[in-house]
Structure 1
Amino acid sequence: MTTTAGVPADVQVHKSHLRTLVGTGIGNAVEWYDWAIYATFSPFIASALFSKADPTSAFLATLAIFAVGFVARPFGGFVFGWIGDRIGRKTSMTFAVGLAALGSLIIGVAPTFEAVGAFASVLLLVARLIQGLAHGGELPSSQTYLSEMAPKEHRGFWATLIYTSGTVGILAGTMLGAILSNVLSTADMNAWGWRVPFLIGGAMGLYALFMRARMKETAAFEAESPKEKHEPMWPQIYQHRKQALQVIGLTVGLTVTYYIWGVVTPSYAASVLKMDRGEALWASVIANVLFIAALPFWGKLSDRIGRRPVMIMSAAGAALFHFPMTWLLKDSPWQLAVTMSVMLFFIAGSAAIVPAVYAELFPTKIRTVGVGVPYSICVAVFGGTAPYLQAWLGSIGQGNLFNVYAVVLLAISIAFVFTIPETKGKDLTH
């Protein structure tokens, strides 16, 4: 067995894989944590950084800035995608997590509306744009990196790390929210408690930055010739416009259903359905733990039967159960736990493997930006507006229109699955 410095080759491979999984997972968890705590603590942000004269308008404005953060994603997808395809996947991932930490720290120390007026709201907007730019680059960079580092026979299983680590980040933010809600008074939460998660997020981001700086580049990227790495970007994007459209089509149903059922529903249950906030957050924790458990099941299944069957089962199941679960959800924590768990089980089918599917659609020289730009546009247009659209339609008594909208988007995703080739086991070095 080949050894280096007396270390067996299989041990070296194991350590390399472990470093890849830990470095990718921690950074991705931080990004998702930052994104989720904004939704979780949006009522407190609205109270602190907007005028208290009209609480409903302040809450809607906070959700609007949540959507504005998505506007920066396509730019992040292009900028960090360009870095990933020209300089390296590792460099792109490292810069992205550093920028995310900066955005979180800005929110954590932002002055209140009472102290500086509208400047507080402007500073929140700037921080969300920074986070949007970072998150727009994080997902395509980490997805591409992980897919290229994974053994091709197990790429579907490895791909589950993206949503597993991301959900761990969401869980960390959710549990912290539940703990703070139980420990601190409402006055303390409004005064300073809501800042704690953002300051912790900034600190974790700095640690992830250190971890990613120690990772190595993928073999697929290093195998590319200097000429290929410096080919003009836009002609390459145009040449692969079909694949870009497929990324949008495959993503549109997933992004709306995931952000509603996986991220925003606990806050919706507390704000609109008047459920106890702490109980709502704990119900969300239960559902997200089950979501994490479902991810490897779907990932392994895709490595056996293929990507397309799993994506069809996932979207069809989510579409079939969306209305029944919406009708079941009233004002009880157990209803919230059950409805979120059922929906997240089916959503997990697509979430588990889309990082692998996206990477398998593009050649190495355009893989990061080819995924990043269309994915970010789709998430910005559909995912970013979903919470606001749901809240607005609900406020005018047309909540059912949003449910129809979500199911239609899932049907569109199913249709797009039939347009892609089966890519299970594809060699990504070519």
Structure 2
Amino acid sequence: MGNAIELYDWNVYAIFAPFFAAQFFNLKHPVSALLATYAVFAVAFVMRPIGGFLFGWLADRHGRRMSMLLSVGLASAGSLLIGLAPTYSSVGLTASVVLVLARLIQGLAYGGEIASSHTYIAEVAPAPRRGLWSSIICISSMSALLVATLLGATLSTVLAKQQMVGWGWRVPFVVGGVLGIVALVLRRTLSETNAYEQARTERQTGSRPSMMRGIWQNRIAGLRVIGLVVGGTVFFYTWLVAAPAYAITVKHIPAPEALWSGVIATSVMIVVLPFAGALSDRIGRRPNFVFFTLAAAALSFPLNRLIQNKAWQLTLAMTIAGVTIALVVSILPAVLAELFPTHVRAAGIGVPYSLAVALCGGTAPLLQTWLATSGRGDLFIGYSVVLLLIGTVVVLAMPETKAKPLE
């Protein structure tokens, strides 16, 4: 529930960007306003590596539970701040500053959430079923994305466009802030993992390396994390998060239809996720990754060509992309946790993962929209394919970690 709330707070920004973009910037051209809004979306990703570092240290030294409590609290506060923020027409530049500040807070929080929640679920899962259990994280995340997209589709269907732009876009942000209280209450009931408790006992009776030394000693694993994540994060943000907004702004598909396309695609992906996780427990992590990277690379150009000006085209493209990426996102917590020892696992996951997402995922909607509107959309697709093929090379060079005991 906590992970769902955080991803909801994070991604509802991209989904509702077409409706509130002009509220925070003095830009009359809708595409220019959207690009400025996506620039803020990208800037927020700068805070994610910092969040991965700070919350990773907190989780490795003072417990996964404490780190998760603080991260969900910050994320919800950022969402509430956006929902209640004044507009540019009322306070001028201050509105833009408030929006940036709120997104920086959310970036810090979500960088910490990845570090702590991925570590927690991997450590409490039975080793033979760690792939299946890790899919819970993505099921909750995609369920949150589904709720956010469903809310957008419903509001844009019920409300007139003027109402959506005027106040309807505030609803999902306020809802996210309020639901954060529920997540805080639930997370207070969590107990620490046995792996963390054992590592803490060893640290008290002996010497363990500092976090920085631990990250350096596991630098190869950190580089593997970056290689595994860069292609997938661009593919994910392009097709599962920003695709409806891209279709509305660039392809001029009506907003309700584009958002309902997202609802359908996300629903199908959620059904596939546990099967993808269980498959990795049976055949290994590497086959899942290799098939995804090669299939996504092969499909990127055809899927982009498929989307013209019809909602069914967007629905089909997003659904195919969602089923493909389910093979990887379902098992990421398991794979990343299996690369690091317990005493540096949260920071080891959080820092390189957040760096990869900040560099490639956060800029994906901005690059895609800018290049597409300037007639160079194929450059973005080619860039995505190169990153996916880098992931293929990394996977083929790494050992199989299925059911590996967590040290």
Instruction: State the TM bucket, normalised to the shorter chain.
Output: over 0.9
Q: Residues 201 and 230 (structure 1 numbering): CA distance in 2 closer, same or farther, change over 3 Å?
A: farther
The offset of 1:238, in angstroms, is 0.8
1:6 corresponding residue in structure 2:
none
- Alignment pair present for 1:226 and 2:198: no
Counterpart in 1 of 2:360?
Answer: 382
Residues 21-60 of structure 1 aligned to structure 2 (within 5 Å) = 26-60=1-35
Single out whichever of 219-228 and 171-180 deviates more from structure 2: 219-228
Q: What is the aligned counterpart of 2:326 among 348, 353, 360?
A: 348
**Aligned match for 1:416, one of 383, 391, 394:** 394
* Distance (Å, rounded) in 1 between the aligned partners of 2:240 and 2:31: 23
CA distance in 1, matches of 2:279, 2:157: 40
Deviation at 1:329, TM superposition (A): 1.1
| Correspondence 1:282 to 2:260 | yes
SS in 2 for 1:418: helix
Give the distance between the partners of 1:392 and 1:276, measured in 2 at CA. 20
Could you report, residue by residue, the CA deviation over 1:151-204 in whole angstroms, capped at 9, with x for unpaired residues? 111000001011110010001110100111111112211221110000000011
Cα 1:310–1:247, aligned 2, differ >3 Å: closer, same or farther?
Answer: same
Q: Is the partner of 2:154 in helix, strand or coil?
A: helix
Paired residue for 2:336?
358
How many residue pairs were aligned?
A: 404
SS of the residue corresponding to residue 367 of structure 1 reads: helix
Show CA shifts across 1:253-286 (max 9, x none): 1000000001000111111101011011111111
Identical columns (%): 51
Is residue 2:102 matched to residue 1:124? Answer: no
Q: Return the alpha-carbon distance in structure 2 between the equivalents of residues 60 and 276 of structure 1.
A: 19
SS in 1 for 2:251: coil
1:44-83 → structure 2 map (5 Å cutoff): 44-83=19-58
Task: Verify the 8 A CA contact 1:86 1:230 in the aligned structure 2.
Answer: no
Q: Residue 153 of structure 2 aligns to which amino acid in structure 1?
A: A
Question: 1:325 touches 1:339 (CA, 8 Å); kept in 2?
Answer: yes
- Distance in structure 2 (CA, Å) of the matches to 1:382 and 1:325: 20
Greater shift, 76-85 or 179-188, is seen at: 179-188
- Matched residue type, 1:282: W
1:265 to 2:240 alignment: no
In the other structure, the counterpart of 2:218 is 240
For 1:17, the equivalent position in structure 2 comes to: none
CA contact (8 A) 1:42 1:59 kept: yes
Contact 2:31–2:249 under 8 Å retained in 1? no
Counterpart code for 1:122: V
Could you tell me which residue of structure 2 aligns to residue 105 of structure 1? 80
Alignment check: 8 A CA contact 2:250 2:373 kept: no
2: distance between equivalents of 1:230 and 1:93?
A: 23
Residue of structure 2 equivalent to 1:7: none
Q: TM-score, structure 2 length as denominator?
A: 0.97
Structure-2 residue corresponding to 1:404: 382
Partner in structure 1 of residue 272 of structure 2: 294
Q: Conserved in 2, the CA contact under 8 Å of 1:290 and 1:345?
A: yes
2:225–2:353 contact (8 Å) kept in structure 1: yes
| In 1, Cα distance between equivalents of 2:263 and 2:31 | 27
Instruction: Trace 1:128-277 onto structure 2 (pairs within 5 A).
Output: 128-224=103-199, 225-227=202-204, 231-277=209-255
Structure 1 residue 40, shift from structure 2 partner: 1.0
Deviation at 1:54, TM superposition (A): 3.7
Q: Which amino acid aligns with 2:214?
A: Q
CA, structure 1 residues 51+229, in 2 after alignment: closer, same or farther (shift >3 Å)? farther
Distance 1:134 1:229 in 2: 30
In structure 1, list runs of 5 or more residues that go unmatched: 1-25
1:281-308 Cα offsets, whole Å, 9 max, x none, are: 1111111111111111111110011111
Q: Give 1:419 shift.
A: 2.2
Segments of structure 2 that go 5 or more residues without pairing to the other structure are none
Residue identity in the other structure for 1:72: M
2:345 alignment partner, one of 342, 367, 370? 367
Residue 395 (structure 1) shift:
2.1
2:60 aligned residue: 85
Structure 1 match to 2:371: 393
Counterpart AA for 1:314: F
Q: Secondary structure at the match of 1:119?
A: helix
Higher mean alpha-carbon deviation, 379-388 vs 228-237, is at 228-237
Partner of 1:12: none
Could you tell me whether the CA contact under 8 Å between 1:246 and 1:419 is conserved in 2? no
Preserved CA contact (<8 Å) 1:76 1:134: yes
Please tell me the residue identity of whatever aligns with 1:39. Answer: A
Deviation at 1:229, TM superposition (A): 8.3
Is the CA contact (8 Å cut-off) linking 2:84 and 2:170 kept in structure 1?
yes
Residues 1:337 and 2:315 aligned together? yes
